[in-house]
Amino acid sequence: MVILGTGGTIAGQGQANGASVGYKAGQIGVAQLLQPIADHCLQGQFELEAEQVAQLDSKDMDIATWQQLAKACSQWLEQADVAGVVITHGTDTLEETAWFLQCVLQPSKPVVLTCAMRPATALSADGPANLRDAVVCAADGVAGVWVAAAGEVHGAQWLRKVHPYRVHAFSSGAQGPAAWVEEGQVRWVQRASTTQALPELATAAWARDAQQWPWVELVTSTAAARAAAVDALVTAGVQGLVVVGTGNGSIHQALLQALHRAMLQGVPVWRTTRCEQGQIVLAEGEQDAAVSPLSPVKARISLMLALLQKSMDQP
């Protein structure tokens, strides 16, 4: 089993009083995080190898780090003696990284991300148990990209961070967890990944220089929305837009004409909903290829990857 470190709160250090806030993320190396787990919790059950891919606060996650992480995963997963990969990550952009990896890797082995809501120096740090559970989950052998946290296992597609402080900060909404980790055993509810079918992506597409990735932004429909925001983005050179609609994907009338102008200039526009649960439901017989079932931040990733692939396919 390979453990890849990227930083985050799980590797954070705070004040000596053991507080759960006021810390600095990404301070402890993944090998140091893993050692007590290997020595006291897993007790030689697995052969573990650690690699530090990055050391950052996940709010600052970038494309270059995503690429490094995907390449590291690919290299390890190709080795026959590697059963799976575990990734330590910050919570803020965890759902985005999980979806990116699911899209570009579509792995035939487990890739399990884990995290912590409290730094390693907190009185009740949650990182050690989460890391132990992630290793156990990866060893269970169910292919796909998963997230293990607070005793639950979630699939990459539905996972969202829903609370800024509590240990139980993640949810898959109406889908519920895919599994629970209980006393070192994984109890699956959905043993196969529920991730939607994904198009094959040429490695050369997502591995392109980060500066060549298309610029895609979110535009949120709100009360008193103004078209000037969309026009400004198009003028600045945005290459794709994901509209975060109200309710069932509805869009303020002030934005509609600006979005239409954007599409006439060749800017693709996808539509999703700002509601935390569920997805847009179209009327009977209605078809709209621009509607995405994903959360806004994941739809943005998928649109970026689609535009990357399109640029590779063009002569």
Predicted confidence band of residue 263 (pLDDT cuts 50, 70, 90): very high
Rg (CA), the chain: 20
Tell me if domain 2-188 and domain 211-313 are identical in fold: yes
> Residue 305: which H helix or E strand, with range?
helix 296-313
pLDDT of residue 196: 58
pLDDT of residue 46: 82
- Residue 261: partners with Cβ closer than 8 Å, 6 or more residues away: 230, 231, 234
End-to-end CA distance of the chain: 41
Report yes or no: 114 and 151 within 8 Å, Cβ to Cβ.
no
* Mean pLDDT, rounded, for 229-258: 97
Does 9 qualify as catalytic in the annotation?
Answer: yes
Q: 16-27 pLDDT, tens per residue?
A: 778 899 899 999
Amino acid at 226: R
Q: Coil, strand or helix: which one is 9?
A: helix
Does 284 have pLDDT greater than 90?
A: no
Residue 30 phi/psi, 5° resolution? -65, -35
pLDDT of residue 285: 83
For domain 211-313, give the fold: Rossmann fold (3.40.50)
Does 277 have pLDDT greater than 70?
A: yes
Domain 2-188 top-level CATH class: alpha beta
* Distances from the Cα of 229 to the Cα of 115, 125, 236, 241, 270, angstroms: 35, 42, 11, 11, 16
Q: Would you kindly state where each structural domain of the chain is located, as residue ranges?
A: 2-188, 211-313
Tokens found for residue 156: 């990459």
CA 161 to chain centre: 10
User: CA–CA separation, 151 vs 169, rounded Å?
Assistant: 11
Does 140 have pLDDT greater than 70?
A: yes
Q: 171-225 pLDDT, tens per residue?
A: 999 899 999 999 989 999 976 554 555 777 777 789 889 999 999 999 999 999 9
Which pairs from 160-167 meet CB under 8 Å and 24+ separation? 160/95, 160/276, 160/295, 161/91, 161/92, 161/94, 161/95, 162/276, 165/20, 165/21, 165/117, 166/117, 167/117, 167/118, 167/124, 167/126
User: CA–CA separation, 208 vs 160, rounded Å?
Assistant: 28
pLDDT of residue 286: 83
Q: Which of 9, 65, 97, 272 is catalytic?
A: 9
